[in-house]
């Protein structure tokens, strides 16, 4: 059991957005649960955070596409800590293929990780949040779903499967917010633009990155994982207590959304 608020983050290890969110929420004082498909990386990040903050952090391997496995992990989190206050759905996958050439495997895999994985985690987390809810007048629980500007851009840059999945996340976010506000549970989405990490080099050609900061970003630079982590930090805090059902773009002005 813990008096700290507990935050579970998917795809929380590695060099990208998830790890930045984990580090930021640990800095904010949360008991952070690091879930990731890569057990070794999860354990390494948990050790890093423990050494920095002088307290233990839980890491659990998790494939978000496995509905039953997600349920087991959520149960373990509540068993260990007695509560679950925050869920950040960050797991994502993409492979660029034109619709006319896209394999059913690519389509299914992308929707399974990005959209179904988000649903799986919400489906198991929400009953636990509702069970421990003190209603809209009490402290709020919060879910943040990581979408993308791909959800609304008319572009070939992201691929149709990824765009469809990320658009689905926005609809899922809005409906879940409408259903769960009465329990004091807020549900929002963050839609990043280009947030640089080395993994993107496996997806995009070098030409995609050339001139991006100078010609597309309104702030003259490419996004960093910490930019998204800062937004998530705000959305899960009580400072955002009157915000739910919204999508917040973090794109350096490249593709704002209203």
> What pLDDT, on the 0 to 100 scale, is given for residue 208?
67
Structure token digits, residue 238: 């009580």
Average pLDDT over residues 199-228: 78
> What pLDDT, on the 0 to 100 scale, is given for residue 205?
65
Average pLDDT over residues 19-47: 97
Give the CA radius of gyration of the chain: 18
Q: What angle do CA 52, 57, 62 make, to 5 degrees?
A: 130
Mean pLDDT estimate for the chain: 93
> What pLDDT, on the 0 to 100 scale, is given for residue 98?
96
Residue 31 scores a pLDDT above 70: yes
- Map out the domains of the chain as residue ranges: 6-250
> What pLDDT, on the 0 to 100 scale, is given for residue 14?
83
Residue 74 scores a pLDDT above 90: yes
Which segments within the chain are labelled E, that is strand? 6-9, 31-36, 58-61, 86-89, 141-146, 185-192, 247-250
Structure token digits, residue 134: 């003190």
CA pair distance 89, 75, nearest whole angstrom:
17
CA pair distance 107, 101, nearest whole angstrom:
11
Residue 256 scores a pLDDT above 90: no
CA pair distance 31, 57, nearest whole angstrom:
7
Q: What's this model's pTM, rounded to 2 decimal places?
A: 0.94
Q: How confident is the model at residue 143 (pLDDT cuts 50, 70, 90)?
A: very high
110 vs 158: which has the higher pLDDT: 110
> What pLDDT, on the 0 to 100 scale, is given for residue 220?
87
134 vs 96: which has the higher pLDDT: 96
Residue 44 and residue 222 in contact, taking contact as beta carbons nearer than 8 Å: no
> What pLDDT, on the 0 to 100 scale, is given for residue 257?
82
Average pLDDT over residues 224-246: 97
Alpha carbons within 13 A on the beta-carbon side of 153: 22
> What pLDDT, on the 0 to 100 scale, is given for residue 18?
97
> What pLDDT, on the 0 to 100 scale, is given for residue 194?
87
Least confident of 31-40, 76-85, 152-161, 185-194: 152-161
Average pLDDT over residues 240-257: 94
61 vs 255: which has the higher pLDDT: 61
User: b/e string for 201-228 if b means 16 or more Cβ within 10 A?
Assistant: eeeeeeeeeeebbeeebeeeebbebebb
* 6-250, CATH topology level: Rossmann fold (3.40.50)
Residue 82 and residue 137 in contact, taking contact as beta carbons nearer than 8 Å: no
Q: How confident is the model at residue 139 (pLDDT cuts 50, 70, 90)?
A: confident
Catalytic residues: 162
CA distances from 32 to 46, 177, 230, 234 (A): 9, 23, 15, 16
């Amino acid at each position: 059991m813990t008096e700290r608020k507990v935050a579970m983050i998917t795809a929380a290890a590695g060099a990208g957005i998830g790890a930045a969110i984990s580090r930021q929420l640990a800095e904010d004082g949360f008991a952070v649960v690091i879930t990731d498909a890569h057990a070794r990386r999860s354990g390494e990040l948990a050790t890093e955070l423990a050494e920095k903050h002088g307290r233990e952090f839980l890491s659990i391997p998790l494939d978000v596409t496995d509905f039953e496995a997600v349920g087991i992990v959520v149960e373990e989190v509540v068993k260990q800590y007695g509560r679950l206050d925050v869920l950040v759905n960050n797991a994502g996958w993409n492979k660029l293929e034109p619709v006319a050439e896209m394999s059913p495997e690519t389509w299914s895999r992308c929707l399974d990780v990005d959209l179904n994985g988000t649903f799986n985690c919400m489906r198991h987390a929400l009953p636990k949040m509702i069970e421990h809810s003190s209603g809209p007048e009490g402290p709020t629980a919060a879910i943040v779903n990581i979408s993308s500007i791909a959800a609304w851009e008319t572009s070939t840059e992201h691929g149709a499967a990824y765009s469809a999945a990320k658009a689905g996340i926005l609809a899922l976010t809005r409906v879940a917010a409408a259903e769960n506000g009465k329990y004091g549970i807020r549900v929002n989405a963050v839609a990043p633009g280009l947030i640089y990490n080395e993994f993107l080099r496996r997806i995009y050609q070098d030409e995609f990155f050339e001139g991006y900061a100078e010609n597309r970003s309104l702030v003259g630079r490419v996004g960093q994982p910490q930019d998204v982590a800062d937004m998530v930090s705000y959305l899960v805090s009580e400072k955002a207590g009157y915000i739910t059902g919204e999508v917040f773009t973090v794109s350096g002005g490249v593709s704002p959304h209203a």
